Structure 1
């Protein structure tokens, strides 16, 4: 079967997809487990040599720890026989040392388990200047980027055309000297295509209409003020449909604009716009007023946009209208020079997309209050200001593709917004960019070099065990009636899983077909970027009339994350996350269940959180719970909302978490931990014996399960990053993903024998699943 590549836009516009972690970018502790042993490069051999040296040091450390630990008189499990030598003893030392070296054993685990599990890690791991935070995910992502760099720079005589295209894209990105030589000349054709940028003086108002400018920007997947995209119909998950929604902003989120015009972050944003415009040739004497007016416009757009808290009800966001009805309901004043039907038709009927649209085409409007007010706001501003703002959004996004002086301007802005003081290394930015945009081609190389095929079978087995544990929890659920329980059991059984990668990426012919319309070169980076943006837009929109292929695998294998998709009712675990400390064949099961097992349970629970519960087993938006059960669920969820909403974040000067926006992830964290621990204990019961202890580790495997779970979230973050997470994030910071979840876990309290009313064992516990 011919598969079509699903674009980046398909992922980002997926109202039904949630991820395990929000960061976009862990340490592979034992490279011998992940790198292909055949035909190693010089660099790989050097790395192996270094690992062997480290291994000797670790063995000495573990032996020392083992001797010292026998002298300590603390709560431990009864003695066990020595750890098995199969697998080889050297492999057992890596997880043991990784576990113990992060602990702060001076802290009572019943009073602050995060500090107990991660205290030493936090003190030893200083946040790099180019990062706003540092966590275990970031460490693993850094290592994945190293692998990507190696495979993208490796010269191969015989490789698929798709891989060559990805390597050419990477080469053009890392060629800093040529990017400097070309300067800003690469921008000129783009600005001419857009009809100019008013603040540069190369614009004629008579030639400008809002419709034409939005269409031109959409060609490059840039869609300010009106976000038009194609996605699965939420109420009929076998077909696709058009959507329009409010768009993103120049700053990280809507709440940044609610701080007021004099806020230091808003001022930094305004300075960024002025300086980028000036670098591109704007008149310094007039640019200040131009930028002020376009930021004023963006403030008004932010104020009429729906808050994240109001966008959790999928039914409220599902408003089907024909284009004719849209034109009637959201009538643009003549002064705005915008017309809905030509807007849709010019984008969709273009020679590239080739989909015929009439005024009877149905579109899902996801932000009715926003569109009711949008044109009233636009009518207050001149065509010049509107055009300045729209082109600015394109130029802001492209500044990272221009010479280093533009990166310097972004770095100054990012210092205020994220707390970083230097940009990431160019090769890291380039490796990440290529993986984000040609991820299946990169994945072809990644899985052959760095993926242990045993992980697929092991993960599949664990998914089965986790699914069984969830069904057990359903049976013991006290707030769900039998009718709804039966349907929930059915939905859980219908959950589809995708693990590691799909085999078709190893087929040259099939992989080449996926990227047959891509044209990249190793020289002109800016042109490559524009081409990739255009392909993402075209490939997504032209799928409007295609049926949904529910077996399609679209996530880049070299991704350190996991996902649940509501409209596919699917859980996904790319190869990138199936690495230590989440998973390793050399780790005991307690660590694997405390790692990837919790991730699996988290994603399964997403199918039954405040958003996932709105979709049935076939992925259709439908009320399949009784009203009484929904009310009871909301009562259980309210406990989670209040618990997490009362956590104060010290790095953000005591700001409290947003319990509403983080509820889905918090429910999934709590359910995932409970499922995975139950699945682990079921596994132990089935084998008839406890696992043998890790050498040098005084904790039993029930305790190790919880320690490894917590250490996944070891992290340090800057004040700016903490504020950003609170204002825009759906995930709680790592500290509270540990503390909040374990406070609700009776199994944790039992494992560590925590006294009643200790901080980690409060009187009231929250439980949804």
Structure 2
């Protein structure tokens, strides 16, 4: 794909319009956003495709921090890592670092050292603005909707209402406080939790029964599969700590300032969450943690913890409807549970053992 490709022209046009909306001079914006797009195109050329990246073993490249200088002499990883963790956790040159994309960093280090700093700064600024595009005024967001329509051909698709954006952002950014409100006011806790435990327990047992009678699986593999299936942890509904006021105040005692812009508040929340994550360096793994809001309508399998997460948001109509025949319940939420269980043994999840360690 070259710079004259219609999709890239559409992308560059979006970049230019956004820069102009933020105050850039049109001719200069057109020139500099084109240069930023060219830089991104060079970076993309070193990126592996999705199928290659699905292999978790390929990305498990362990180095001690001090070793990275000899592998990537043009990137000062040690300074970068220490800057990121400054004031949050102690980092030594002997700390282990996992580099998921060796070929990528090998290639881009030369690009970064030969590209003008202004081009790099413009590209970083663009990606930052792109990431926060939902916070732009309606007129500045319009080019993003047009870009999506041009890329997908869906010209009659209406952009989401502002209230939908607000709800989505609230659930993602304030996952636990919003989750608590949802569980308190809209979730039939006792009945739904009891039914979900019944469903997950039954399907787990049936899956293990099927493993015992498979005629194409050797005994060694069967034993490991049964052990892993038996140790899958099911996190249903919400974490118990959700109703611990001390914990909630400690982790979510963020005070909204008078007349504070939503963007500023969002950045403060993101920084606080990132700091919490970084401060866990060197700490024992907390398997009770949830990384998703109880209010979200979703379900997923986490291979590195060997656990299934079914938030309260999915434990309601139309997936889990209390009082209906079991065949409806198993056809709706049972299908979701079975689908997620299969991820524990697919081409990615199957590379992790019963404890969530990468161990094919």
Query: Structures share a fold, TM > 0.5?
Result: yes
Shift of 1:435: 0.6
8 Å CA contact 1:407, 1:423 repeated in 2: no
**Of 141, 161, 165, the match for 1:425:** 161
**Of 548, 564, 574, the match for 2:301:** 564
Q: Deviations over 1:505-538 (max 9, x none)?
A: 123333222213x343363212112212222321
8 Å CA contact 1:564, 1:604 repeated in 2: yes
Q: Structure 1 length normalisation: TM-score?
A: 0.45
Aligned equivalents of 2:208, 2:158: Cα separation in 1:
49
Shift of 1:587: 1.8
Q: Establish whether residue 371 from structure 1 lines up as the match of residue 105 from structure 2.
A: yes
Q: Establish whether residue 416 from structure 1 lines up as the match of residue 150 from structure 2.
A: yes
Show structure 2 runs of 5+ residues with no match: none
Q: Deviations over 1:176-228 (max 9, x none)?
A: xxxxxxxxxxxxxxxxxxxxxxxxxxxxxxxxxxxxxxxxxxxxxxxxxxxxx
1:440-479 equivalent positions in 2, closer than 5 A: 440-453=176-189, 454-479=191-216
Shift of 1:556: 0.5
Name the SS of the counterpart of 2:45 in structure 1.
Answer: helix
Show structure 1 runs of 5+ residues with no match: 1-257, 333-337, 624-769
1:301-450 equivalent positions in 2, closer than 5 A: 301-332=43-74, 339-349=76-86, 351=87, 354-418=88-152, 419=154, 421-450=157-186
Name the SS of the counterpart of 2:57 in structure 1.
Answer: coil
8 Å CA contact 1:581, 1:591 repeated in 2: no
* Range moving further from structure 2, 441-450 or 414-423: 414-423
Match of 1:504 in 2: 241
Aligned equivalents of 2:33, 2:241: Cα separation in 1:
49
What RMSD, in angstroms, separates the aligned Cα atoms of the two structures?
A: 1.6
Match of 1:658 in 2: none
Q: Deviations over 1:465-485 (max 9, x none)?
A: 111111121122122111211
Aligned equivalents of 2:163, 2:302: Cα separation in 1:
32
**Of 277, 286, 290, the match for 2:28:** 286
Aligned equivalents of 2:35, 2:351: Cα separation in 1:
42
- Distance verdict in 2 for CA 1:540–1:622, change over 3 Å: same
8 Å CA contact 2:239, 2:288 repeated in 1: no
Aligned equivalents of 2:78, 2:295: Cα separation in 1:
41
Match of 1:672 in 2: none
8 Å CA contact 2:134, 2:165 repeated in 1: no
Name the SS of the counterpart of 1:572 in structure 2.
Answer: strand
Match of 1:273 in 2: 15
Q: Deviations over 1:622-650 (max 9, x none)?
A: 13xxxxxxxxxxxxxxxxxxxxxxxxxxx
- Which structure has the highest helix share of the two? 2
Matched pairs, number:
356
Q: Deviations over 1:260-307 (max 9, x none)?
A: 433333222111111111122212122211111110110110110111
8 Å CA contact 1:400, 1:406 repeated in 2: no
- Distance verdict in 2 for CA 1:522–1:468, change over 3 Å: farther
Name the SS of the counterpart of 1:321 in structure 2.
Answer: strand
Q: Which has the larger radius of gyration?
A: 1
Shift of 1:445: 0.9
* Range moving further from structure 2, 562-571 or 575-584: 575-584
Match of 1:533 in 2: 270
Q: Deviations over 1:359-386 (max 9, x none)?
A: 2221001011111111122234211111
Match of 1:299 in 2: 41
1:177-256 equivalent positions in 2, closer than 5 A: none
Aligned equivalents of 1:448, 1:533: Cα separation in 2:
25
Q: Structure 2 length normalisation: TM-score?
A: 0.94
